[in-house]
């Protein structure tokens, strides 16, 4: 049977249809309906944050959070992420300045942030990539010292906690993605979490065309609201998400057991004091030590109908739309990882036997050379 890199979690058909039935009576399909409000409230509790503003997707949430902060100039971020992070910065008329990543968790290397700060720097947009926690304490120290805003791309970090604190509490704001491919989803969806009430108020208006009330439009907003059908999917999925993360943890365990002793394959170390969400399982292949390159492993798995992804390759700074604008040799660790990484299949529906089989195929590639 085909194994994809991800597989969306679904509530039962009956659970979802039962939950959307009242919409045929209320005929309130979007615009902050009852399910939207209920989901926002439940997410506040689950993520242990003060405020949640729901969005049509994670990307628009990030774009609007940056817009709401009235930023100008340069934003320090990483190129080892999904296109969305960099696009959100650029689409706000801001200039991304790429910082290298930490080889131990692939998030922004906080020791390299300060050397990139100029008089034009206004914010830092770090990414909790794969659900790995950024060095939130050091980033906070730097931001305070230099008067910078911090907006986390927490698209991968749903449910992650650090010393019992929900990941969405760090920085001035955090963006979560509830896309179908993420640990928790609303089909399409996203959110901003923040302790800043004024920001929440601005976002409520911005995602609804900047409308303050019936006669006053005081922001140049757009349409980025979450509809009721998506909110209901979220309410259903939230009931099961702990169980789904638990199942994912067994896959992580099987991968770790099978892969930790293979020379030439690196896996990420477990982060201290961090409650993980098992969103992804990346491996990095050192061609010399392993005796085979990344493509050989990808192709061997593909032959058995197992599909992996090169998340994240290319670096956003190397994407065609940014040709000639950035120099990825200035972020050598990010470049090194992007050239060698594979994300293995990861979902709650994967069994430990699947994981064992996948690892067996990877192991059999050792010393196979280039294909
Ligand atoms: C998924 C993702 C986004 C965008 O979220 P959408 O909900 O798909 O718009 C942004 N950043 C990262 C790192 C992501 O993985």
* In the chain, domain spans: 13-237, 241-364
Topology of domain 13-237 in CATH is 3.40.640
Contacts (Cβ under 8 Å, ≥6 apart) of 191: 40, 43, 52, 53, 54, 55, 58, 61, 175, 176, 178
How far is ligand 1, taken at its centre, from the CA of residue 155, in Å? 5
Query: What average pLDDT does this structure show over 240-249?
Result: 97
Rounded distance between C-alpha atoms, residue 281 and residue 334, angstroms: 17
> Roughly how many angstroms between the first and final C-alpha of the chain, as a whole number?
25
How far is ligand 1, taken at its centre, from the CA of residue 258, in Å? 30
Query: What average pLDDT does this structure show over 25-49?
Result: 97
Residue with the nearest Cα to atom 5 of ligand 1? 58
Rounded distance between C-alpha atoms, residue 161 and residue 157, angstroms: 9
Residue from 53, 55, 57, 59 to probe ligand 1 pocket by mutation (most atoms less than 8 Å from CB): 59
Q: β-strands 281-285, 341-344: how paired?
A: antiparallel
Cα torsion angle, 11, 12, 15, 16, sign: positive
Look at residue 110 and tell me whether its pLDDT is greater than 70: yes
With H, G, I as helix, E, B as strand and everything else as coil, classify residue 282.
strand
Rounded distance between C-alpha atoms, residue 304 and residue 25, angstroms: 49
Q: Is 264 in contact with 290 (CB distance < 8 Å)?
A: yes
pLDDT classification of 6: cutoffs 50, 70, 90? confident
How far is ligand 1, taken at its centre, from the CA of residue 214, in Å? 33
Look at residue 291 and tell me whether its pLDDT is greater than 80: yes
Q: Is 245 in contact with 159 (CB distance < 8 Å)?
A: yes
How far is ligand 1, taken at its centre, from the CA of residue 254, in Å? 27
Give the ligand 1 atom nearest the CA of 84: 10
With H, G, I as helix, E, B as strand and everything else as coil, classify residue 90.
helix
Residue carrying structure tokens 């999904």: 82
**Mean per-residue pLDDT of the chain:** 97
Residue carrying structure tokens 């290319």: 314
Q: Is 284 in contact with 340 (CB distance < 8 Å)?
A: yes
Residue from 62, 64, 82, 224 to probe ligand 1 pocket by mutation (most atoms less than 8 Å from CB): 82
**Residue 149 β-bridge partners:** 123
Instruction: Report the pLDDT value the prediction gives residue 371, as an integer from 0 to 100.
Output: 56
Structure tokens at 64: 């609007």
How far is ligand 1, taken at its centre, from the CA of residue 1, in Å? 28
How far is ligand 1, taken at its centre, from the CA of residue 89, in Å? 13
Look at residue 26 and tell me whether its pLDDT is greater than 80: yes
Q: Could you give phi then psi for residue 253, rounded to 5 degrees?
A: -60, -45
Residue carrying structure tokens 């990861």: 346
Give the ligand 1 atom nearest the CA of 190: 7
Instruction: Report the pLDDT value the prediction gives residue 164, as an integer from 0 to 100.
Output: 96
Query: What average pLDDT does this structure show over 314-339?
Result: 98
Structure tokens at 235: 């309410």
Q: Considering only CA atoms, which of 49, 48, 65 is closest in space to residue 204?
A: 65
Give the ligand 1 atom nearest the CA of 59: 9
pLDDT classification of 370: cutoffs 50, 70, 90? low
**Residue 124 β-bridge partners:** 76, 150
Residues flanking ligand 1, CB < 6 Å: 57-59, 81-82, 84-85, 127, 153, 155-156, 177, 179, 190
Q: pLDDT, tens digit, for every residue of 9-19?
A: 999 999 999 99
**Residue 51 β-bridge partners:** 194
With H, G, I as helix, E, B as strand and everything else as coil, classify residue 210.
coil
Instruction: Report the pLDDT value the prediction gives residue 240, as an integer from 0 to 100.
Output: 97
Look at residue 165 and tell me whether its pLDDT is greater than 90: yes
Residue from 179, 187, 313 to probe ligand 1 pocket by mutation (most atoms less than 8 Å from CB): 179
Instruction: Report the pLDDT value the prediction gives residue 368, as an integer from 0 to 100.
Output: 84
For the chain, where are the alpha helices, taking DSSP H only? 13-20, 23-26, 34-47, 58-68, 83-90, 136-146, 197-206, 228-259, 287-290, 294-303, 332-338, 352-364
Contacts (Cβ under 8 Å, ≥6 apart) of 204: 53
The CATH code of domain 241-364 reads 3.90.1150.10
How buried is residue 250: exposed, middle or buried, by Cβ count under 10 Å (0-12/13-18/19+)? middle
Look at residue 191 and tell me whether its pLDDT is greater than 70: yes
CA distances from 152 to 237, 244, 342 (A): 24, 24, 24
Rounded distance between C-alpha atoms, residue 106 and residue 210, angstroms: 37
Q: pLDDT, tens digit, for every residue of 194-234?
A: 999 999 999 999 999 999 999 999 999 999 999 999 999 99
CA distances from 52 to 47, 236, 299 (A): 9, 18, 42
Rounded distance between C-alpha atoms, residue 349 and residue 355, angstroms: 11
Look at residue 256 and tell me whether its pLDDT is greater than 90: yes
């Amino acid at each position: 049977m085909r194994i994809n890199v991800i597989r969306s979690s679904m509530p039962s058909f009956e659970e979802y249809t039962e939950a959307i039935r009242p919409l045929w009576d209320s005929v309130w399909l979007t615009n902050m309906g009852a399910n939207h409000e209920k989901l926002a409230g439940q997410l506040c509790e689950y993520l242990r944050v003060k405020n949640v503003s729901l969005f049509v997707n994670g990307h628009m949430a990030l774009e609007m959070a940056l817009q709401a902060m009235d930023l100008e100039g340069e934003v320090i971020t990483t190129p080892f992420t999904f296109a969305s992070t960099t696009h959100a910065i650029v689409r706000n008329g801001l200039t991304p300045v790429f910082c290298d990543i930490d080889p131990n968790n692939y998030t922004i290397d906080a020791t390299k942030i300060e050397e990139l700060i100029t008089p034009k720097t206004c914010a830092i947009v770090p990414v909790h990539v794969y659900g790995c926690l950024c060095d939130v304490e050091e980033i906070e120290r730097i931001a305070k010292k230099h008067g910078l805003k911090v907006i986390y791309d927490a698209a991968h970090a749903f449910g992650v906690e650090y010393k019992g604190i929900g990941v969405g509490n760090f920085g001035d704001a955090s963006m979560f993605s509830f896309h179908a491919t993420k640990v928790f989803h609303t089909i399409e969806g996203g959110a901003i979490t923040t302790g800043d009430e004024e920001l929440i108020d601005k976002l409520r208006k911005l995602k609804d065309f900047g409308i303050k009330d019936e006669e006053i439009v005081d922001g140049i907003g757009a349409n980025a609201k979450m509809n009721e059908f998506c909110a209901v999917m979220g309410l259903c999925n939230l009931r099961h998400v702990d169980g789904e993360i638990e199942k994912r943890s067994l896959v992580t365990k099987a991968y770790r057991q099978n892969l930790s002793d293979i020379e030439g394959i690196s896996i990420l170390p477990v982060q201290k004091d961090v409650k993980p969400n098992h969103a992804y399982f990346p491996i990095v292949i050192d061609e010399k030590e392993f005796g085979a390159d990344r493509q050989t492993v990808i192709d061997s798995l593909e032959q058995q109908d197992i599909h992996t992804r090169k998340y994240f390759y290319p670096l956003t700074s190397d994407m065609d739309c940014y040709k000639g604008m950035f120099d990825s040799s200035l972020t050598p660790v990010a470049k090194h990882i992007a050239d060698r990484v594979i994300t293995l299949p990861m979902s709650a529906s994967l069994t430990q036997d699947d994981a064992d089989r996948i690892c067996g195929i990877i192991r059999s590639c050792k010393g196979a050379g280039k294909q």
